[in-house]
Structure 1
Amino acid sequence: MNQDHHREKQYQRRVQQAKQKESQDQYRVNKYKHWVNQSTLLRARYVQAKQELSEEKPCKQQSDSEEEDDDIFFNKKAQSVPESQQSTIHPLDLQMAVLHCSDDFLKQKIVTKLSQCQYALPLLVPDPFTGDIECPLWTFRQIKKTWKKTETKEGSKVVTMKSMPICKAETPMVFCFRLGSLSASKSQLINTLINDRHNTFFHRNCPGSTKSRLLFDGVVEIAWYCPAGRSSDTFTDCVAFCNLHGDGLTYDKQLKIMTEKSSVNVVFVPTLTKDPVISELLRSSQPLIVLIEDTAEGAKQMRKTKYRVGLKNRSLSDVSGELNKIISDTLSKTEFLILFDLMKYMSTMEMRIKLDENSTMGFSAAEEMTKSIQTVDVSKIKNTFLPCQDELWHKWSQLNKKQYRLKGNVEKEKCDIQKEMQMLRKKQCKTSQLITSFTKHLMSLSHTEREYFLKWTQILMDDHATHCLSSILQNYFEVWSEVLDLKRKSGKLIELQFKQKELAEMSKNLHSATCGLEHIFREMGQIYEAHVSLKKQPKNEATDWSKYPELAAELMISGHPMELMDGDAGQVPITWISGLIDQVILKLGDKRVFVLSVLGLQSSGKSTMLNTMFGLQFAVSAGRCTRGAFMQLVKLSEEMRKDFQWDYILVVDTEGLRALELEGNTTFHHDNELATFVVGIGNMTLVNIFGENPSEVQDVLQTVIRAFMRMKEVNLSPSCVFVHQNVTDVGAADKNMDGKRKLQKKLDQMVQLAAKEEGCAAESFSDIIEFDVQKDVKYFAQLWEGSPPMAPPNPGYSESVQELKSYIFSKAATSSGVTLSQFKTKVKDLWNALLNENFVFSFRNTLEAELYRKLEVQKLNDVTEQKKASKNVDEKKTMFENTLLQKSKELAHLLKDQAKDEDELKKQFNRVWEAVYQATEKVKEGDVTTWLQEFDNLVKKKLASVSISSENFSDVNRFDFLKDAMQKTLVPIIQHLKNLPRERYNSPR
């Protein structure tokens, strides 16, 4: 590495470009070695550090004669492999060269990836040209560690979870160094204290190690032990281990700083002498452990906090056990140190260590912007400074979906809904001071300072939220434990309800406390949509709402992910997305993109897979860390563009299906809608499955397929690849042939079932979604080797990801992708189709939808029968009223001037009503159709056989009592029939 190349920094966006698969053979090319490792480290890939011997220069053949074999074998002067044929580049020299040749953002990203891989990180770095020492504080800013601290309180063990940026963590620090040369490996021994199955610190016995080092000597590395709250933990709290590479006598400046500030000093010496360094450490108050290579004695305490341990003829595990016990005992009595404070101390005039945080403008702008939120409770930041995206946006989204699914007086309801939506948009037009300040700085800062500004904004917002989130999580755990205890006790209902209400409120606060750059971009999008929907005129101002899509487009081109679908509201902001993509087209041209999306259950490793594949930084965590869908542009390298018909990969990351945070039917509707959208917009979808059983994803795919059939106008033609993660059996691909056959059969069956319902001609899954069960099913090894938080990534996982990436590119080579403008139209058309297609998303799968459809048809038939029966009752009522009225008229005519006995007349008519009553009673016990027939026959028969006497009736005017009797008797009967429930007709008691 020469000084000119050192000055020519490599940028993150250049290294992050998609390239052809990097084979291990490429590592042999020394000229491009730093390029390969930049790309590799960025993706947190397993690196084969050892360089193979060149096949072009094999060892010289000593003899072809069998008689001479023995002599040659025992000949000490036999020709060995020339030094020039061996690897002369130390792997960590290569790593340091990569870091020296990277700009601040790439360097930060690489160090963050190294931390995720559980490797040690550079803490003090000598400049290879000037010798000045730099402390790379900037590279630590995005590193977070999570651990569980165990302590004893009131005789019982209490476990407390902690999660924070590591540079703000208060931890003890153990500093290890050597004086002189040793045959034993210092770094290897330290590794046994942190993780005895992983080389946290690179040491001489690692593959690829060489005797000589150019850039790595003098570097102080740091790594952390993070306990999991288990009885098997080596330490009960987080501990930082620092390791000076090289002879401490040569690097006195690093030695002075670290020995002064460490909690425990561990020094390795070949033999114990009155060395000035050791003598000074003996006089200090800090604990000291001296490991002596030529002494065979065990651990021995020489005085208070001063220990001596022999290494000669002793096993690594024995020494490690003694060292572990001594450190644990001494750490309980020492003060803890915050890494940030240590670094600030290093930068003082006395120490003269250079910090790498050079951007004062970016930091000042971020500090000014976030100053207003520092005094506000973290759970109230969104409501105070980002008011457009929560209640207003969620309410608008609900109304927007409702207007597509109206019933009854459609036009009036739709008009009322649109008026309410307009009122909500008016309220969203107000821009908060936070957004004004944010957009002002985005417009005014240069490209580099803008990147610093965005990084610092996220860092400062995270710092403000970290303490509050830890407190809320701890309180949540305590209240939840109380709720579980109360459920086991009887007579505690009121107290239980109170605690459950408190738990629900804490859950709401926990959600509100999550605030980052994505929420600021979402707020900008809502303000923009509100102004556009109200047809507001843009103003000639730098921070005007009309400039928001342009700002977001510049960030998207620079490699920042942008929200495509809001998972909280379950809505795609079409106006904002259209404006954003239009601006990207203006800046790049209408480029062709290959849209790669991912789909899978919650916490199945979707974001981790994409990050490993393309070197991205999608959010990864347990639970619902991704909400909705995010898109990020990955540019193809120049050499790859010759082989493909598109220029960019548009990677779409999505939230997990079946999220525990969502409840009941909301989960099915949200998941089905999200899955249909994600699969629909993608040229290819990676269906991520944790384990070998795809049953949960099958349910969602059934709904996706049925939705595609119902949305013929969108013209979708996606493809998919099934990725089974966490499969430990190396023969899974071969052993699961029968499983693949059953999977294909199941997929085909659900397509045929959906096609029958929707009237489509599809016969197999591949008729709807391009899929080859022989090729498009992949198996991955588990991600971690061991149990987090100290587990390193599995190299096999990384290799599987790269093989999948190569397979994706091989399939994508025949695809023309879509233009950005086509993608914009596709998103809009698909989302509008989804809004109109509510029915199919409310079910777990096609079988549920089919069952509902059958029940709906049966219910419709029942309602039709009920209406028909009601109509028959009305017709019979009219007929009976007319018949009785006619009989009454005849009776009145016969009895004119003759009727005397009113009682006799009543008896005559009571016989008729008795027949009517007896007939109506049958409706309570049988089928309505049968009853109507019997009622008709009985009443007709009775009316025909009535014998009317003409005696004792004299006054025709007395006929009024007949009308009264008819109304009082017949009307209640008919009303009773109408009010009977439907089930009383169809099912007997």
Structure 2
Amino acid sequence: MVRARPLGSLPGRGAVPRAMVLVEVELLVKGRADLGEVAPEIKASERRAAVAIADLEWRDMDPDDYGANEAQDSDFPAVERSRLREMLSLLGLDTYQAHKLSLQDFLQISSDSMKNRAPQAPRDLPWNFLRKLQALSSEARSTTMVLDTPPDARPAEKESQMEEEIIYWDAADDLATDIYSFSELPTPDTPVNPLDLLCALLLSSDSFLQQEIVHKMSLCQFALPLVLPDSENHYHTFLLWALRGVVRTWWAQPPRGVGSLREDSAVLSRAPAVAFVRMEVSSNSKSQLLNAVLGPGHRPRDCFWHRDLNVGTNAREIADGLVEVSWFLPSGREDLDVFPEPVAFLNLRGDIGSHWLQFRLLTEVSSAVFILTDNISKKEYKLLYSMKGSATKYYFILSPYRGKRNANLRFLNRLIPVLRMDHSHVLVKVSSTDGAGFVRRVRAIVAHVARAPCRRLSVEEMAHAARKLGLRVDEDCEECQRARGRAERITRRVKDADAYRREELRLQGDAWRKAAQVEKELCRAQWAGDPPDKELRQRLLELRAQQLGHEPAGGLQEFISGISGPAPGEKLYFLRWMEWGLARVAPPRPRQPPETILALRPKHCGAAESSEPLGVEHFLREMGQFYEAESCLVEAGKLPAAQRRFAHFPGLASELLLKGLPVELIDGSARSTPLRWVSGLLRELHARLERRPRLVVLSALGLPGTGKSTLLNTMFGLRFATGRGRGPRGAFMQLVSVAESFSQDLGCDHILVIDSGGLIGGALASAGERFEQEASLATQLLGLSNVTVVSLAETRDIPPAIVHAFLRLEKTGRVPNCQFVCQNLHDACAPGPRPRERRPLLDPPGEADRAGAHTERPGGGMRTLAGLAFCDPGKQHIWHIPGLWHGVPPMAAVSLAYSEAIFELKRCLLENIRNGLSNPNKNIQQLIELVRRL
């Protein structure tokens, strides 16, 4: 039998770059060569073993084969390097190798933010992928390019881009038929495999953008990169830091007792791991098999990318050696739960012979390894023989070619005692095999492995194994580790969040609440034209002096050092470590049954509020109170300006705002705005943005649990806290930059996005002080805004405080452009608003609305909310957003209809800003004055 293959390709499911042929030749032909030139990360002992294997194989090689390949050995490094460079150049990412793409580059608003068109050139592909990923679109990996050239004018497809198969023929076969069958393969619309695009982007991104990409991929339920190959420098990176932000929720069912929902970091939670790898050629697709195993019933999930998906047949150029990870997470429903506990699934792209280091890692961390192959020859036998003594269970999935059955059985019989297998560890899948039955059999094996005593490792523990093998771990950089140590000096002292707030963050206690109340009374008197109450003024000064009598606690001083002294990158590392460290000590959140996991449901009015978790915002709030107290005493002449110690605090906070951290605008605990602190912060922001001062304020209001934070995060890539009971209760702001090339057209340089958190609780007018508090806060946020998104769970569920705020602002003529978003409706699948859905907002107001209207306009005529919010009821101001999840969480992906609706809403908001349909744009100085007035 003769074996033929396309020039420059290797057999396999995905395309294997030509350089990998040279790697194989390097190992097999040059047995005496220094393997360090090919893989410097391999340790000396491994190199000796690899050289020994290569020497054995070299002795068995045909001399003619040796002569044919000898000339190709010398160009391996140049060929390999040029492939990565060509890919980066093709995608326009070569300029981001010295200075990596940052998170700010990713979030910047440009003219493309309003477009939803296919890429026109390869350089559009990375940005199109990032925009779709930000919008949580399940089609992010289906990024294709529109070619203007007619099909017959396109350059011939490179041979290495053909779908790679080994063609076998006997002497009697018609050679021409097999050879020319290559020309019948379809020509793809894009020259880039989605996995190559992902690898190129990750290699061009800084660690914070890598983390954001992986986080968004996890929300879309895509398989996540675990080991990133870098053929340019011949080292591979274990992506521990990039996975730090991924959080998993699942239904934990103890052996005896009632189950409960559990939430934990994907990096810290332990689970058995099962790896799927390919050896040489395999007729069966690993990724398709994995998707079928992970999917409930007969509905496979497209978690792992495979060649039968759109643009999936394009040859991989730089992604071979990539290791991906995905988890099965139980939901508590027997009809959906394939496995009773979480299981990690690992997938190596490419052949294990060419990526031996990654294969060694998988054998170190996995409880079982499934090897897909059609052929076990002497070379494969010797490779696997080197795994003798491994504690991992090995399973083979075979689909033997003609004439290979006996050879496979011969080598398998030799491997069975070596790898401690039996015949049940060998599965055969050919074209006549029942696919569903085969998937059930694989699931049964995985379930048996997971139930039996086996190694259960977290991703963090996998990183230890990666280090021992010589892989680089992204988290090991000096900046990251210094920041981690600084953050842990704070977080390790936090045993109980409430006790820590009382003992360490003392300025946020009763003195602050009393001072906030006194300032509200002074403000009311000022706007009523009454003379200032000297007694109230004196009381305020006493309270501020009482606050300033405290010294910043040790934890706060360490926090200030963490955000002031280090380099910009170290600050961001420090803040992330702080967030995760504080999240670990947060009290467990109340949990609902599995069918309501992650559902967007509003809290019932009057429900008891849970204890606010400790977060970074509390440290910034403490800094704000020191600044407030000091500024108040300086203004009153009770403290010389020369003795100020905290005047630099607003500058530190404004720098964090510029770096993308949410900063508190309204204190959710005291339900008050620290005016001096916010004004000082905005002044510092103005000084830093003096070249580009024009600002638009976009806010989101609504009841907790209506999805407004998720909506803002999806639209603009922000980091507002999400999840009922998790986030802080204040109003937070984040700054989004507009590209200079687009700022003139849009009419602003920055968009300040404000999320109202849990400030609006749906209190009725009869609730007295609480209703007045909510109405005042809603008035403040609406008055600051150019554009407001009001998030509702049902069309009739409009918080009375928001109606009240509209009625107040009508007198000033400052009602912002409003868009009402109704989420999670039963019939929300239909696109666009319909008259029936619009009717509740056009109906006469109910009792709550009447009470609010009479409070503001006693004896006056009634106005509907629709009359206040819209000048033209025919225009689209009501958006019905489909449910967030497609399926049942936690395995459900984000609905494509949700991401498409969010994109249309974003486009509409930007269009309104550009067309000047909102309140007049303002600069920061005007915003400061508006904060004081409101």
Question: TM-score, normalising length from structure 1?
Answer: 0.71
Q: Which residue is 2:40 aligned to?
A: none
Q: 1:737 to 1:81 in 2, by over 3 A?
A: farther
Read off the aligned partner of 2:623 and give its amino acid letter: M
RMSD value over aligned CA atoms? 3.8
Q: Is residue 164 of structure 1 aligned with residue 264 of structure 2?
A: yes
Provide structure 2 residue ranges, at least 5 long, that are not aligned to the other structure: 1-87, 154-176, 406-415, 594-606
Q: 1:80 to 1:24 in 2, by over 3 A?
A: farther
CA contact (8 A) 1:222 1:242 kept: yes
Q: Which residue is 1:719 aligned to?
A: 817
Read off the aligned partner of 2:508 and give its amino acid letter: Q
Q: Which residue is 1:790 aligned to?
A: 891
Map residues 524-543 of structure 1 onto 2, 5 A cutoff. 524-535=623-634, 537=639
CA contact (8 A) 1:38 1:98 kept: no
CA contact (8 A) 1:24 1:48 kept: no
d(CA) in 1 for partners of 2:258 and 2:109? Answer: 48
Provide structure 1 residue ranges, at least 5 long, that are not aligned to the other structure: 61-73, 478-503, 831-989
Read off the aligned partner of 1:377 and give its amino acid letter: K
Read off the aligned partner of 2:513 and give its amino acid letter: H
Q: 2:569 aligns with which of 435, 443, 448?
A: 448
Map residues 609-758 of structure 1 onto 2, 5 A cutoff. 609-623=711-725, 625-656=727-758, 659=761, 668-690=771-793, 693-697=794-798, 699-709=800-810, 712=811, 716-727=814-825, 729=827, 732=830, 736-746=834-844, 754=853, 757-758=857-858
Q: Is residue 804 of structure 1 aligned with residue 918 of structure 2?
A: no
Q: Which residue is 1:603 aligned to?
A: 705
Q: Is residue 284 of structure 1 aligned with residue 404 of structure 2?
A: no
Q: 1:344 to 1:428 in 2, by over 3 A?
A: farther
Deviations 1:677-718 (A, max 9, x none): 22222111111223xx32221634432233335xx4x55231
Map residues 190-205 of structure 1 onto 2, 5 A cutoff. 190-195=290-295, 196-205=299-308
Q: 1:180 aligns with which of 280, 283, 293?
A: 280
Q: 1:335 aligns with which of 437, 445, 455?
A: 455
Q: Which residue is 2:342 aligned to?
A: 238
SS of the residue aligned with 1:695? coil
Percent identity of the aligned residues?
27
Residue 241 of structure 1, CA deviation: 0.9
Deviations 1:376-425 (A, max 9, x none): 4222221222111243323333444466789xxx9999655544433332
- Whose helix fraction is larger, Structure 1's or Structure 2's? 1
Q: Which residue is 2:600 aligned to?
A: none
CA contact (8 A) 2:280 2:375 kept: no
CA contact (8 A) 1:751 1:765 kept: no
- Please say which of residues 204-213 and 85-94 is displaced more in the overlay: 85-94
Residue 203 of structure 1, CA deviation: 0.9
Q: 1:684 to 1:405 in 2, by over 3 A?
A: closer
SS of the residue aligned with 1:28? coil
SS of the residue aligned with 1:622? coil
d(CA) in 1 for partners of 2:711 and 2:193? Answer: 30
Deviations 1:207-237 (A, max 9, x none): 1112410121110011111212333322222
CA contact (8 A) 1:92 1:216 kept: yes
Deviations 1:94-143 (A, max 9, x none): 11111111111111111111112111111111213022111121101222
Deviations 1:707-763 (A, max 9, x none): 335xx4x55231211122234647746773144245224369968993893466885
Q: Which residue is 2:61 aligned to?
A: none
Map residues 341-490 of structure 1 onto 2, 5 A cutoff. 341-348=461-468, 351-361=469-479, 363-368=481-486, 370-379=488-497, 380-401=499-520, 417-429=536-548, 430=550, 431-463=552-584, 465=585, 469-470=587-588
Q: 1:54 aligns with which of 140, 147, 153?
A: 147
Deviations 1:450-500 (A, max 9, x none): 22222222233334x16xx34x869x99xxxxxxxxxxxxxxxxxxxxxxx
Deviations 1:827-875 (A, max 9, x none): 2211xxxxxxxxxxxxxxxxxxxxxxxxxxxxxxxxxxxxxxxxxxxxx
d(CA) in 1 for partners of 2:881 and 2:271? Answer: 36
Q: 1:267 aligns with which of 354, 359, 371?
A: 371
Q: 1:397 to 1:194 in 2, by over 3 A?
A: farther
Q: 1:419 to 1:363 in 2, by over 3 A?
A: farther
SS of the residue aligned with 1:129? coil
Map residues 746-895 of structure 1 onto 2, 5 A cutoff. 746=844, 754=853, 757-758=857-858, 765=865, 768-774=868-874, 775-815=876-916, 816-830=920-934
Residue 610 of structure 1, CA deviation: 0.9
Deviations 1:905-931 (A, max 9, x none): xxxxxxxxxxxxxxxxxxxxxxxxxxx
CA contact (8 A) 2:268 2:459 kept: yes
Deviations 1:312-354 (A, max 9, x none): 2224322221111221122122121121121023113xx1111
- Please say which of residues 423-432 and 666-675 is displaced more in the overlay: 666-675
Q: 1:372 to 1:207 in 2, by over 3 A?
A: closer
CA contact (8 A) 2:730 2:759 kept: no
d(CA) in 2 for partners of 1:242 and 1:220? Answer: 7
- Please say which of residues 697-706 and 750-759 is displaced more in the overlay: 750-759
Q: Which residue is 1:324 aligned to?
A: 443
Q: 1:741 to 1:341 in 2, by over 3 A?
A: closer
CA contact (8 A) 1:748 1:763 kept: no
d(CA) in 1 for partners of 2:871 and 2:664? Answer: 28
Deviations 1:515-561 (A, max 9, x none): 121111111111111111122657879x9311001111111122222
d(CA) in 2 for partners of 1:56 and 1:31? Answer: 16
Residue 273 of structure 1, CA deviation: 6.4
d(CA) in 2 for partners of 1:315 and 1:94? Answer: 35
Map residues 13-32 of structure 1 onto 2, 5 A cutoff. 13-21=104-112, 23-32=115-124
Q: Which residue is 1:497 aligned to?
A: none
Q: Which residue is 2:616 aligned to?
A: 517
Q: Which residue is 2:23 aligned to?
A: none
d(CA) in 2 for partners of 1:316 and 1:208? Answer: 24
Read off the aligned partner of 2:511 and give its amino acid letter: L
Residue 270 of structure 1, CA deviation: 1.7
- Please say which of residues 373-382 and 11-20 is displaced more in the overlay: 373-382
Q: 1:819 to 1:546 in 2, by over 3 A?
A: same
d(CA) in 2 for partners of 1:354 and 1:87? Answer: 32
Question: TM-score, normalising length from structure 2?
Answer: 0.75
SS of the residue aligned with 1:511? coil
CA contact (8 A) 2:666 2:732 kept: yes
Read off the aligned partner of 1:105 and give its amino acid letter: F
Q: Which residue is 2:669 aligned to?
A: 568
SS of the residue aligned with 2:340? coil
